[in-house]
């Protein structure tokens, strides 16, 4: 819980307003951080997919051997 500024009583309307504003600011910050994390994870996923494709295309295809004569 956010600490109210000095001189504000904990049960006063000013304290409740301060608390609501602090919670709103924290919710906005959390939303922004979640968005950044989502973008970061998507970027990492794309990098991994790109690396997988590069690795698969870089390795030569094995020669197919006939199983029957």
* pLDDT one-digit tens code per residue, 41-61: 999 999 999 999 888 887 666
pTM of the model: 0.63
Mean pLDDT of 14-40: 95
Tell me if 52 sits within 8 A of 45, measured CB to CB: no
Is residue 21 situated within a structural domain?
Answer: no
Is residue 50 situated within a structural domain?
Answer: yes
Give me the number of domains the chain comprises: 1
67 pLDDT more than 80: no
Is residue 44 situated within a structural domain?
Answer: yes
Domain range for residue 35?
30-55
Is residue 24 situated within a structural domain?
Answer: no
Is residue 8 situated within a structural domain?
Answer: no
- Tokens 């870089």, located at residue: 58
């Amino acid at each position: 819980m956010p600490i109210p500024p000095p001189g504000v009583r904990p049960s006063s309307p000013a304290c409740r307003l301060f608390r609501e504003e602090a919670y709103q600011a924290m919710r906005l910050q959390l939303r922004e951080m979640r968005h950044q994390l989502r973008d970061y994870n998507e970027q990492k996923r794309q990098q991994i997919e790109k690396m997988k494709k590069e690795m698969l295309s870089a390795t030569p295809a094995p020669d197919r051997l006939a199983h029957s004569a």
